[in-house]
Amino acid sequence: MEIKTATEKLAALGNESRLAIFRLLVEAGPAGLSAGALGRTLDLAGATASFHFAHLSRVGLIESRRDGRSIIYSACYPAMDELLAFLTHNCCQGSNCLPLTSACDSIEKRRPPPLPDGDPQMNDRIYNVLFLCTGNSARSILAEALLNHLGKERFRAYSAGSRPTGTVNPYARELLERQHLPTAQLRSKSWDEFAKPDAPRLDFIFTVCDNAAGEVCPVWPGQPMTAHWGVEDPAAVGGDDEARREAVMKASIQLKRRIELFLALPIDKLDAMALQDKLDGIGREKS
């Protein structure tokens, strides 16, 4: 194991909640525990727990699988063994004094592909980004259209909902059309579409509503980086047409600001931990 890899794993376990999650999963054995059970045991909110699960998954310390409507997490013992071996290298005069386990499959089969490391050939890649909310009618639709416009050739944006309404909010569509952005391809759809084997391989997933952030998401192929960029729901605003249009405009301005900050990130030069910190920071940005 390289020292950088070991540092990332140790840094992930340096958080009290993540260490508690990992210890519970080690105790649970290969059968693992559901996301809900872990959250209840440690008194973690859904969005907070999801963030910690994603972090531990990204550094290869835990694995996930779907069981019906639940996501089951389990410790990856080979990764733990590898880390222990690194920490105890040359102890006991080089003898194998620590019993190492082999309860789960090789971590290399599940570890997410590394982010670009500055190789010029990698700088031309297109990043796939999925915006999620509950209804997929306004906020996530706006974000999809804005990123596809602002990201030009570097990003391809999609949107989906945990419980899609099936229609695009008319005020959101009206605003995008006034801004001369394409709307023909926009539709309200389920996030299940993006968990299928033939779905685009996602690099980033951003939740733009608290409800979606707190729900149990599908198992996304490739374990993309995730962050929560909560925005008030313009579709929930009452009043006359002008009030509704104003609410949609406010959401659009906030999303545009966050997308611009995202586009300014040197993604190919940041390691995974630094990039995650930047993405989370964008979600806390007030605009």
Domain residue ranges in the chain: 3-109, 120-283
In the chain, the amino acid numbered 260 is E
Q: How confident is the model at residue 190 (pLDDT cuts 50, 70, 90)?
A: very high
CATH node for 120-283:
3.40.50.2300
Nearest to 73 by CA among 36, 16, 34: 34
Pairwise CA distance, residues 4 & 31, whole Å = 30
Higher-scoring residue by pLDDT: 109, 146 = 146
pLDDT tens per residue, range 226-235: 999 999 889 8
Q: Which residues face 227 on adjacent strands? A: 206
Pairwise CA distance, residues 143 & 227, whole Å = 14
**225-229: long-range contacts, CB 8 A cutoff, minimum separation 24:** 225/54, 225/58, 225/272, 225/275, 225/276, 225/279, 226/50, 226/51, 226/54, 227/276, 227/279, 227/280, 227/282, 227/283, 228/47, 228/51, 228/280, 228/283, 229/255, 229/258, 229/282, 229/283
pLDDT of residue 122: 44
Tokens of 245: 């249009």
Catalytic residue among 76, 92, 104, 133: 133
Nearest to 267 by CA among 127, 92, 70, 73: 127
217 assigned to active site: yes
pLDDT of residue 213: 52
92 assigned to active site: no
Pairwise CA distance, residues 142 & 162, whole Å = 17
Q: How confident is the model at residue 216 (pLDDT cuts 50, 70, 90)?
A: low
Highest mean pLDDT among 81-95, 97-111, 132-146: 132-146
- Side-chain-side CA neighbours of 11 within 13 Å: the count stands at 14
Catalytic residue among 76, 92, 97, 209: 209
pLDDT of residue 119: 43
CATH node for 3-109:
1.10.10.10
91 assigned to active site: no
pLDDT of residue 28: 73
Catalytic residue among 76, 92, 97, 217: 217
